[in-house]
Chains A and B, each alone.
Chain A
Amino acid sequence: EAGVAQSPRYKIIEKRQSVAFWCNPISGHATLYWYQQILGQGPKLLIQFQNNGVVDDSQLPKDRFSAERLKGVDSTLKIQPAKLEDSAVYLCASSRNSGGTYEQYFGPGTRLTVT
């Protein structure tokens, strides 16, 4: 089966500009996650969707970050305006409930550089 797809793979923008990332999860996976991974650190959950509803967005900086999953499949994550500290890899993952455990499958990520 096809894996999680993300685009673009790389993006360089100047601070105060806006940027959007796209994710297509594995077919049939109801849960979708966006993570931010800063160099040298583990991924940090930004937002979690169950179908098209938000389950957890407690760590999403809502003054500048937004995300949507309108039809319960693809998702977009937007940053507006970007700051230097937003430079990171943005990972999308999807999962389905397998016997009470959710095993997450990650896309390759989008590496964002804010200058």
Chain B
Amino acid sequence: TQLLEQSPQFLSIQEGENLTVYCNSSSVFSSLQWYRQEPGEGPVLLVTVVTGGEVKKLKRLTFQFGDARKDSSLHITAAQPGDTGLYLCAGERGQGGKLIFGQGTELSVKP
């Protein structure tokens, strides 16, 4: 059973298009983190959202944490080929920052 469901699993778009990735759960998390992973590398933290309803912007990326702290979304405006990669959401539960990861969204942005 997947505690965190990410959708879509695969996304192939043209440069300049907008996209949204969703991360849903029936469980409450103390925080929600988004990572980006490139082939042959470990995940790199993009953002942490902590408060229900919180919205954070990172250049063309907008992250939102649901009011009930069970779901999150990542919106990319005017995608570029450099945005290509695996996007992972991870919910923090338990002590010491234990993370539960979603299965990831593989994004491909074609020039």
* Mutual binders A and B: yes
Compute how far the CA of A109 lies from the CA of B44 in the bound complex, rounded to whole angstroms: 12
Which of A13-21, A64-72, A95-103 contacts the other chain? A95-103
Contacts of B88 in A (CB 8 A): 42-43
Cβ A101 vs Cβ B50 within 8 A? yes
Q: Nearest chain-B residue to A30 (Cβ)? A: B96
Q: Is A25 an interface residue (CB 8 A)?
A: no
Contacts of B6 in A (CB 8 A): 42
Known contacts A93-B42, A104-B45, A105-B45: does B50 contact A56 (CB below 8 Å)?
no
Q: Is B92 an interface residue (CB 8 A)?
A: yes
Q: Is B1 an interface residue (CB 8 A)?
A: no
Known contacts A31-B97, A55-B96: does B103 contact A42 (CB below 8 Å)?
yes
A-B contact number at CB 8 A: 68
Q: Nearest chain-B residue to A92 (Cβ)? A: B42
- List A101-115 residues whose CB lies under 8 Å from chain B: 101-109, 111
Cβ B43 vs Cβ A43 within 8 A? yes
Chain B 27-39 interface 0/1 with A at a Cβ cutoff of 8 Å (1 = within): 0001101010000
Instruction: Give chain A's interface residue range (CB within 8 Å of chain B).
Output: 20 to 34
Which residue of A4, A43, A102, A105 is within 8 Å of B101 (Cβ)?
A43
Q: Which 9 A-B pairs have the closest CB atoms?
A: A102-B97, A106-B42, A42-B101, A55-B96, A42-B103, A42-B104, A43-B101, A106-B43, A42-B88
Which residues of chain A have a CB within 8 Å of any CB of chain B? 4, 31, 33, 40-45, 48, 50, 55-56, 91, 93, 95, 97, 101-109, 111
Please list 21 pairs of residues, one from A and one from B, whose beta carbons are closer than 8 Å in the complex, sorted by A's number.
Answer: A31-B96, A33-B99, A40-B103, A42-B88, A42-B90, A42-B101, A43-B88, A44-B101, A48-B98, A56-B94, A56-B95, A97-B97, A101-B31, A101-B50, A102-B92, A103-B33, A103-B45, A103-B97, A106-B43, A109-B40, A109-B42
Which residues of chain B have a CB within 8 Å of any CB of chain A? 4, 6, 30-31, 33, 35, 40-45, 48, 50, 88, 90, 92, 94-104
* Apart from the given pairs A42-B101, A91-B43, 12 other A-B contacts in the complex at a CB distance below 8 Å: A31-B97, A42-B104, A48-B98, A55-B96, A55-B98, A56-B95, A101-B97, A102-B96, A103-B33, A103-B48, A106-B35, A108-B40
